[in-house]
Structure 1
Amino acid sequence: MKIAIVGYGVEGHSSFEYFSKDGHDLTIVDQNFIKNIPKEADYITGDNVFDKLIDFDLIIRSPGISPHRLPYGEKVWSATNEFFAKCPAPIIGVTGTKGKGTTCSLITSILRAAGRTVHLVGNIGTPALQELPKIRPDDIVVFELSSFQLWDLQRSPHVAVVLMIEPDHMNVHKDMEDYVAAKGNIAAYQAVDDTVIFNRNNQLSQQIAAASKGKKVEYPFAIDEFTASIKLPGAHNQENAAAAIAAVREFGVGDDVIRQGLSAFDGLPHRLEKVRELDGVTFYNDSFSSAPSATVAAVKSFTQPEIIIVGGTDKGADFSELHTALQEATNVKMVILIGEIRHKLADILHDINYEISDVRTMAEVVNVARSYATSGDVVILSPACASFDMFKSFYDRGDQFREIVKSL
């Protein structure tokens, strides 16, 4: 079979390795220059490359490529579709605008505390096709699913967890309707014996759940008996824990084991990650927060005086909720605006204490934040924006912040 692997990022690499094992005729397709191409691989690069795929029998779309750019009908497939078609074990799929990684990790920690073999795949874990040969029918798969992976998904997981849905990736999706439609595939193909867990306080999460034929379980709910076991700061992480608890209860996990699993999880890098305390000032790395709603959650996570570092690349997001949260917060001492969006943010946050910083390095950003901080304060890198103006990725942004703070 003649197969095009469209997009050669992490998942593209995994797809190439997976399909090459069956002796198919593979071609790597990418608009950009491709590094580390296997010696045996054919490839096509350059402008209008997606218009040259008519002769392929199968087109494997990587998550970063919009299906709207591949008008080849049933020929278009994806690594996520392939995994769902071949996986022998039940799948817990988790999607939402924020909280996916933490919720997936909590689910995984609890199920492992229960003695189950769990495979964490997707954005947060191993590429799904790479993990597929290791999976047995009695195992459980926890799959973090972005809108890009869900875009053309043709099957839904056995347990779908739909966290809060808010505008995001509007620079990639055609509009909000397109974004929600992609997210909706997580529940759209469920059977009556499947389960969808949804956020009862979020209309779009409710809307997605309503399309499922399966059992519907709502969250958040009171988890007072578990709060002492949760090590993560913020009310939003209480909600993530509630979603995780609902998911593992579908597999018969009891409360004592749930507490064990919750307490075993210390949090993920770049998600309100405590870096250090210095001279009474505590520094948190929340670089993963590339949407305003995530930064709102960070703002609400602490009662101490806050110095918040915000800014980066403009993704076309709506900052009105963040503006309101900063207005209402009585403990926000200073907002430091960085990156290419800093002047736009200054116009939006005109009545907030802010400093527009024209710095070009993370070391300079940290120095500006320190100049405002006194003992008892928290300094939070929670950008609410993408990172590509100053950094390679949110990982790079957070890693630099952590390294510099630890070196102080």
Structure 2
Amino acid sequence: MKIVIAGYGVEGQSNLRYFQKKFPSASFLVTDERESVDNLPDGVSFQAGFAGLADAYLIIRSPSISPEKIKNSGQIWSATNEFFAECPAVIIGVTGTKGKGTTCSLAASILRAAGKTVHLVGNIGVPALDILPEIEENDIVVYELSSFQLWDLEKSPHVAVVLMIEPDHLNVHADFDDYLAAKSNIARFQTSDDYLIYNSKNEFSSSIASVSSSQKKEYPFALSSDIISAIRLPGKHNIDNACAAILAARAIVPSLSDDNIKAGLSNFTGLPHRLKFVAEKNGVKYYDDSISTTPGSAVAALRAFAEPKVLILGGSDKGADYRELASEIAAQQMRAVIINGENASEIAKSLNEEKVSCRVVCLKMAMMSEVVEAAKSQAQSGDMVILSPAAASFDMFKSYNDRGEQFVAAVEKL
């Protein structure tokens, strides 16, 4: 029996470990878009590309590998499908363009404050199959789901959370309809016993809600002042994320108290590279929002602060439209915009069309230390410098984590 592991990143390696234990007598082939991979165990074959897989009994697709790239007469499966089929515990699934990791973390923190055993897995960085053997029936799983993990999902979670959605990953998905269809699978297979929490102010989140047969709950909604004061994250968008997390937790534990909610919210101080305070230098505060890979997330970062701002933008393109962001910059109290990266010219054009009045410094492909120095030279005491690139990181960095870490290191050297 031949089993193919398609894609050999972090999740692909997890898939190989899991399915080798499940099918100890099978032969395994790893395939990848790269010409070679590291950490291949003895006895496992490797092939570059996805041709000639028709004889495979089972192909396990990694998230970033489009199902359209794999042709096979057998079963094409994924870690997400396997986890949903085998998990003994209730699952809260969270998707959206931005805010997934924060909402997942807030929901998990609230449930833990209520005394529950919670497993936080998925796109947030923990391969779900690695911890599947540890999960017990009375536990709760909070699963961060990207469009790539949802592409071919065959079972929806008991509690589905759909955050704000905007066009994203259009360099991988065929078009926005394909992206939205993938996101919709989080709700498509729900029944009347399930729950859907969705952002009623976002038309695309609302359209996904229409495909679900579940019990629907809308957010945002008004929170009491004491609950708002427990949220330790900046920005209105994080109040919205807290609303979604509260509804998700209450869907599982209806008796959840306000004390549990406040404790859970205050216990979570934020994930790395998500509008995270770095340092104050010469009266200027620096924030790392490297996770921002869409214009909408940069808009949310700008709206989180009233102070004058220096914004650092730019990276590799994902098919985004920067006009709304340019309009927001024109309306904000801005000191300067620093543009760097592969799509710097495109962003500069959008800013010019919106007649942005603040200083615009276009650096193209500068080192992060140069970018931070440029921001420092434009900022004044009392200002905020925010790295919120509104673009992917792969033009100059290994990942958004790498980009954020280089920003933090450059700021600390000022």
Superposition TM-score tier, normalisation by shorter sequence = over 0.9
Residue in structure 1 matched with residue 348 of structure 2 by the alignment? 346
CA distances 1:305-345 after superposition (whole Å, capped 9, x unpaired) = 0000000111111112101211221x111111101111111
- Alignment pair present for 1:357 and 2:363: yes
- Alignment pair present for 1:155 and 2:166: no
Distance (Å, rounded) in 2 between the aligned partners of 1:138 and 1:125: 23
Task: Give the CA deviation at 1:73.
Answer: 5.7
- Alignment pair present for 1:129 and 2:129: yes
- Alignment pair present for 1:29 and 2:31: yes
Distance (Å, rounded) in 2 between the aligned partners of 1:145 and 1:320: 28
Task: Give the CA deviation at 1:394.
Answer: 0.6
Residue in structure 2 matched with residue 176 of structure 1 by the alignment? 176
Structure 1 counterpart of 2:283, from 269, 280, 292: 280
Other structure's SS at 1:52 match: coil
Residue in structure 1 matched with residue 375 of structure 2 by the alignment? 369
Distance (Å, rounded) in 1 between the aligned partners of 2:202 and 2:371: 35
Instruction: Give the partner amino acid of 2:44.
Output: A
Task: Give the CA deviation at 1:224.
Answer: 2.5
Instruction: Give the partner amino acid of 1:114.
Output: A
Contact 1:359 1:365 in 2 (8 A): no
After TM superposition, where is structure 1 displaced by more than 2 Å over at least 4 residues in a row? 71-74
Equivalences, count:
404
Instruction: Give the partner amino acid of 1:3.
Output: I
Residue in structure 1 matched with residue 14 of structure 2 by the alignment? 14
Unaligned ranges ≥5, structure 1:
none
Contact 2:338 2:361 in 1 (8 A): yes
Contact 2:56 2:72 in 1 (8 A): no
Other structure's SS at 1:109 match: helix
1:209-248 map, 5 Å = 209-225=209-225, 226-248=227-249
Residue in structure 2 matched with residue 41 of structure 1 by the alignment? 44
Task: Give the CA deviation at 1:278.
Answer: 1.2
Instruction: Give the partner amino acid of 2:271.
Output: L
Instruction: Give the partner amino acid of 2:351.
Output: L
Instruction: Give the partner amino acid of 1:164.
Output: M
Q: Taking structure 1 as reference, are residues 209 and 73 closer, same or farther at Cα in structure 2, changes over 3 Å only?
A: farther
Task: Give the CA deviation at 1:112.
Answer: 0.7
Other structure's SS at 1:98 match: coil
Residue in structure 1 matched with residue 310 of structure 2 by the alignment? 307
Instruction: Give the partner amino acid of 1:367.
Output: E
Task: Give the CA deviation at 1:208.
Answer: 0.8
Residue in structure 2 matched with residue 396 of structure 1 by the alignment? 402
Distance (Å, rounded) in 2 between the aligned partners of 1:97 and 1:339: 22
Task: Give the CA deviation at 1:119.
Answer: 0.4
Contact 1:98 1:294 in 2 (8 A): yes
Task: Give the CA deviation at 1:359.
Answer: 5.1
Instruction: Give the partner amino acid of 1:390.
Output: M
Q: Taking structure 1 as reference, are residues 358 and 126 closer, same or farther at Cα in structure 2, changes over 3 Å only?
A: closer
More deviation, 354-363/146-155? 354-363
Residue in structure 2 matched with residue 378 of structure 1 by the alignment? 384
Task: Give the CA deviation at 1:392.
Answer: 1.2
Taking structure 2 as the reference length, the TM-score comes to 0.96
CA distances 1:165-195 after superposition (whole Å, capped 9, x unpaired) = 1100000000111000000000000111000
More deviation, 390-399/320-329? 320-329
Distance (Å, rounded) in 1 between the aligned partners of 2:99 and 2:33: 31
Give the superposed CA RMSD: 1.0
CA distances 1:134-174 after superposition (whole Å, capped 9, x unpaired) = 00000000000000000000000000000011100000000
Structure 2 counterpart of 1:269, from 268, 272, 290: 272
Other structure's SS at 1:318 match: coil
Other structure's SS at 2:51 match: helix
Contact 2:55 2:73 in 1 (8 A): no
Residue in structure 2 matched with residue 62 of structure 1 by the alignment? 62
CA distances 1:4-51 after superposition (whole Å, capped 9, x unpaired) = 000000110000000011312211111211112112211112xxx312
Residue in structure 2 matched with residue 333 of structure 1 by the alignment? 335
Distance (Å, rounded) in 2 between the aligned partners of 1:43 and 1:390: 28
Task: Give the CA deviation at 1:357.
Answer: 1.3
Distance (Å, rounded) in 2 between the aligned partners of 1:14 and 1:115: 29
Distance (Å, rounded) in 2 between the aligned partners of 1:277 and 1:14: 40
Instruction: Give the partner amino acid of 2:214.
Output: G
Distance (Å, rounded) in 2 between the aligned partners of 1:337 and 1:398: 16
Distance (Å, rounded) in 1 between the aligned partners of 2:315 and 2:55: 41
Distance (Å, rounded) in 2 between the aligned partners of 1:74 and 1:370: 57
Contact 1:360 1:390 in 2 (8 A): no
Q: Taking structure 1 as reference, are residues 229 and 74 closer, same or farther at Cα in structure 2, changes over 3 Å only?
A: farther
- Alignment pair present for 1:322 and 2:328: no
Distance (Å, rounded) in 1 between the aligned partners of 2:394 and 2:193: 43
CA distances 1:203-234 after superposition (whole Å, capped 9, x unpaired) = 11111111111100000000134100001000
Instruction: Give the partner amino acid of 1:295.
Output: A
Task: Give the CA deviation at 1:72.
Answer: 2.7
Residue in structure 1 matched with residue 3 of structure 2 by the alignment? 3
